[in-house]
Amino acid sequence: MNKIDNLKKKEIYISYIFFSIFFIICWSQIKDFGVSLDDEIYYLSGVKTYDYVKNFFLSFLNNDIVLSEYRNQLEKWPIIFELLVIFICDLLDVNNIEKIYLISHQVNFVIFFISLLFFQSLIYKRFKTSYISIVSVIFFIISPRLLGESFYNSRDIFFMSLFIFFAYSSYNFLENKNYFIYNFFFFN
């Protein structure tokens, strides 16, 4: 029994070391990736939507706010990720466009990194060994396009990460048949 516990501890340490080294290396490289062509368009659309959402909630406190002025400026592009980035930039009081794009890259990478942790956990639950789960993550990230776009592609990588969260939650839901809020929320 003690030998099995030691083996499990070693697997956990190897996982921690692998993900720590991966995060440190990638975090130091975020600033080296440029801006994609549609970043400005999505950013401006996100700003308009953020203004609308903020004024929508402020309109409950102030009757002088006319929501139709903000609603007419909304675009039809998906803005979930940009809304998150602009909210973070507003909290941090960041106005420099270069810093805003850097924060966007950082948020995109952090979401991708968290999805890798969920992916590793999902593979671990399936095969019950950290080695296979780490090798699966390595195969997942050695694709240069996936790794490179994890820094700046706020569309494909963001929704791929959401799909991984959903797959993990679905597996938990089907395995346990429990109705914990995280499983039920993501599964439905």
Query: Over the stretch 111-148, which tens digit does the pLDDT of each residue have?
Result: 999 999 999 999 999 888 888 999 999 998 888 888 88
pTM greater than the 0.95 cutoff:
no
Which pair of tokens denotes residue 75? 């675009």
pLDDT in tens, 69-85: 666 666 666 678 888 88
Domain ranges of the chain: 36-93, 105-188
Burial class for 76, CB neighbours closer than 10 Å (0-12, 13-18, 19+): exposed
Alpha helices in the chain (DSSP H): 2-29, 39-58, 67-71, 80-92, 97-127, 130-141, 144-152, 156-176, 181-187
State the Cα–Cα distance between residues 37 and 130, nearest whole angstrom. Answer: 39
Q: What pLDDT score was predicted for residue 170?
A: 82
pLDDT in tens, 20-63: 999 999 999 888 877 777 777 778 888 888 887 887 877 776 77
> What average pLDDT does range 156-183 have in this prediction?
80
Q: What pLDDT score was predicted for residue 28?
A: 92
